Amino acid sequence: MIELRIKDEFSPLEAVVLGTAKSNGGDPTYEEAYDPKSKEHIKAGTFPKERDMVPEMEAFAEVLEKHGVTVYRPKVIQDYNQIFTRDIAFVIDETFVITQMLEERSNEIDAIQDFIDQMPENSVVRMNGDAYLEGGDVMPVDEHIFVGYSELEDFENYTVARTNPAGLAFLQKQFPKRNIIGFELNKSDADPRKNALHLDCCFQPLGLGHCIIHPEGFKNAEDVYFIKNYFGEENCFEIHADEMYEMCSNVFSIKPNVVVSEKNFTRLNQWLEEQGYTVELVPYQEISKMEGLLRCSTLPLRRADTSK
């Protein structure tokens, strides 16, 4: 039996599904790509290769295992991209939610069905109907769930808009004890420096009371004000458009004071160390070319219950 428990983003991690870059299908065509950064690299002939991405993910797995985390990996589907497990499902409290997302990615959930079968039957919920939501947009913070989303006009017009108002309503109904706070994100199918694909592409809470934020990723200035006020402006590390493009906010917390980060994030990593974090550095630059990074690659199943 796989026990589920996720209260926040940074309590000590005990079990996680980490994606795989094996047999990822090679270079897609420009028309097959559904985010602007991938399109940019396809056009430039620099789209990442499996031979380069597999070692990056294995380096991440080694760091997780070094910290005593049980690491599950998806069953490999031939010629299919399975790197970003965060989007296909998420855990809040003791509930495993299978998201409703892009049809092109619908088979990814099949690769972790063996793990789902080991979860308590009444703990698994599958989204349906008109509610759309991806795990990269969902963050439990204290008694809240922070959610990146798009109003219907953007949701219906941008491929990169992945979570709609019905997705927020689903969360409120499913988790009535949590306060759902929606943040409308800026979207662009053409310019990756102006596109916040998910909430974790422009914001990340950290375990010692800090956060990483790219203010321009948010559509409404009052949402940026809310976050800065919530964490305290002095505790917010602002990243600029190029750093957002490189996925600087998409780091991953193993423990409150242990953060996994990309080794080239020099400015961020120095700041994290100055705030008292142990920073585990991994190479993830090739995977970042697909507009995702470390948090995107993980589906946390269980973190330690620190309330005891």
Comparing CA positions, the residue from 287, 209, 223 lying closest to residue 253 is: 209
Q: How deeply is 283 buried, as exposed, middle or buried, from its count of CB atoms within 10 A (0-12, 13-18, 19+)?
A: middle
The domain that holds 30 is classified in CATH as 3.75.10.10
The residue whose two tokens read 């409308």 is 184
Q: What is the pLDDT along the chain (308 residues), one digit of tens a residue?
A: 999 999 999 999 999 999 999 998 888 898 888 899 999 999 999 999 999 999 999 999 999 999 999 999 999 999 888 999 999 999 999 999 999 987 778 889 999 999 999 999 899 999 999 999 999 999 999 999 999 999 999 999 999 999 999 999 999 999 999 999 999 999 999 999 999 999 999 999 999 999 999 999 999 999 999 999 999 999 999 999 999 999 999 999 999 999 999 999 999 999 999 999 999 999 999 999 999 999 999 999 999 998 76
Give the three-state DSSP class for 283: coil
Residue-range definition of the domain harbouring residue 67: 13-303
7 in any annotated domain: no
What separation in angstroms does the CA of 213 have from each of 64, 156, 218, 260?
A: 25, 26, 10, 17
How many alpha carbons lie under 13 Å from residue 80 in its C-beta half-sphere?
Answer: 16
Domain count, the chain: 1
Torsion angle (degrees, nearest 10) of CA 240, 245, 248, 249: 90
Task: Determine the Cα–Cα distance for residues 95 and 79; give it in Å rounded to an integer.
Answer: 31
The predicted pLDDT at position 33 comes to 87
What count of other Cβ atoms lies within 10 Å of the Cβ of residue 140?
20
For residue 131, how many other CB atoms are within 10 A of its CB? Answer: 19
Dist CA 16 CA 234 (whole Å):
32
Strand 70-72, strand 13-18: pairing: parallel
- Does residue 227 fall inside a structural domain? yes
Q: Tell me the pTM.
A: 0.96
Q: Return the pLDDT at 105.
A: 81
- Read off the pLDDT of residues 86-134 as tens digits, 9 standing for 90 and up: 999 999 999 999 999 877 788 899 999 999 999 998 999 999 999 999 9
**Helical ranges in the chain per DSSP H:** 36-44, 50-66, 113-116, 152-157, 165-174, 221-231, 241-245, 266-274
Q: Tell whether 3 is covered by a domain.
A: no
In a domain, 4, yes or no: no
Q: What is the pLDDT of residue 49?
A: 95
Q: Across the chain, how many H-helices and E-strands are there?
A: 8, 15
